[in-house]
A = this chain, B = another copy of it.
């Protein structure tokens, strides 16, 4: 019998899930449109039904647990709490919902924390005790590992790097405040930068030929790659904001490595190189030329599922550790 974990990533748009073994192989996966489900109960039921089909099709496996990454997922409570990107409001008790169908332990955290544990388990941060994962998607999240352990903080909400304020009276943020890092550095932030730059400058750009609503992080990245100078400036501005913030983060937790993860991070060196340059420019002397910025080591199509599934192996490791300690 081969031990496997179920990894589930609940996103604002898509929910993906799959069966993952201890080596990080995703044996089978499926996805659903989160927005198709008016209540979390209905989504969980649909996930259960699809997983049942997968489990029957796989021979010789033993499911040891379920790991879930979700927006505003709280590790301590096993809940989603007031997630602005989901239409289900208030507090959703995921553990309770899943244990109606599954007789294995269920662990919940947010997607950025899941990504960090994923990098520790199967990715670029194996044997790295101090690192940070920055997820660049619709928003900006972070998972922070210190002394080999994920930092959840007092009540499970640590790692909100995207909601550190980098500009007093800066851009309005969905959180109700202004100047949060994610209003500049995220898929939506870079589009806002593009809109402002297109309006402010008159230099030609292929971005002027597409309608406003078609400007996306991806189209900006493509234009930059093709040498469009305005698109390159947009990337540079984004990297400057991120590099500045990372320099401040390094001063606080002093990581060995910063891992960039998610959509915008797929731009590769177009984002890592200038980010590294601006981070170095802003670093305190004792930190200079020490911190690597690297892309995620999780297979891009399965990264979210791998991250979520890794929660299970991480909890098993902690349990074994405690058992040894008690003997």
A contacts, CB < 8 Å to B? 72, 81-82, 129-130, 142, 144, 146-147, 149, 151-161, 163-165, 168, 175-177, 244, 247-249, 251-256, 282, 284-287, 290-291, 321, 324-325, 327
Partner of A165, one of B144, B147, B244: B244
Are B155's CB and A82's CB within 8 A?
no
Are B252's CB and A164's CB within 8 A?
yes
Question: Which single residue of chain B is at the shortest CB-CB distance from A130?
Answer: B154
Are B244's CB and A144's CB within 8 A?
no
Interface hub of A161, A177, A248, A255 (most chain B Cβ within 10 A):
A248
Q: Which residues of B contact A324 (CB under 8 A)?
A: 325
On whether A82 and B158 interact (CB within 8 A), knowing A144-B253, A146-B147, the answer reads no
On whether A254 and B81 interact (CB within 8 A), knowing A248-B164, A285-B176, the answer reads no
A160 to B282, CA, bound (A): 14
A-B contact sample (8 more), CB < 8 A, given A147-B152, A159-B252: A82-B285, A82-B286, A142-B252, A144-B253, A146-B146, A164-B252, A175-B284, A321-B325
Are A146's CB and B157's CB within 8 A?
no
Q: Which residues of B contact A247 (CB under 8 A)?
A: 165
Q: Which residues of B contact A284 (CB under 8 A)?
A: 160, 163, 175, 177
Are A163's CB and B256's CB within 8 A?
no
Are A165's CB and B130's CB within 8 A?
no
Are B158's CB and A252's CB within 8 A?
yes
Partner of A252, one of B81, B147, B160, B256: B160
Interface hub of A130, A160, A165, A251 (most chain B Cβ within 10 A):
A251
Q: Which residues of B contact A255 (CB under 8 A)?
A: 153-154
Are B146's CB and A153's CB within 8 A?
yes
Q: Which residues of B contact A153 (CB under 8 A)?
A: 130, 146, 253-255
Q: Which residues of B contact A154 (CB under 8 A)?
A: 129-130, 254-256, 290-291
On whether A177 and B282 interact (CB within 8 A), knowing A146-B151, A165-B247, A253-B151, the answer reads yes
Q: Which residues of B contact A286 (CB under 8 A)?
A: 72, 81-82, 157, 160
A247 to B166, CA, bound (A): 12
Question: Which single residue of chain B is at the shortest CB-CB distance from A283?
Answer: B177
| Min distance, Cβ A3 to any Cβ of chain B, angstroms | 24
| Min distance, Cβ A255 to any Cβ of chain B, angstroms | 6
Are B175's CB and A285's CB within 8 A?
yes
On whether A158 and B325 interact (CB within 8 A), knowing A149-B147, A165-B282, the answer reads no
| Min distance, Cβ A180 to any Cβ of chain B, angstroms | 8
Question: Which single residue of chain B is at the shortest CB-CB distance from A81?
Answer: B286
Are A287's CB and B157's CB within 8 A?
yes
On whether A251 and B160 interact (CB within 8 A), knowing A176-B285, A177-B282, the answer reads yes
A244 to B178, CA, bound (A): 13
Q: Which residues of B contact A256 (CB under 8 A)?
A: 154-155
| Min distance, Cβ A106 to any Cβ of chain B, angstroms | 22
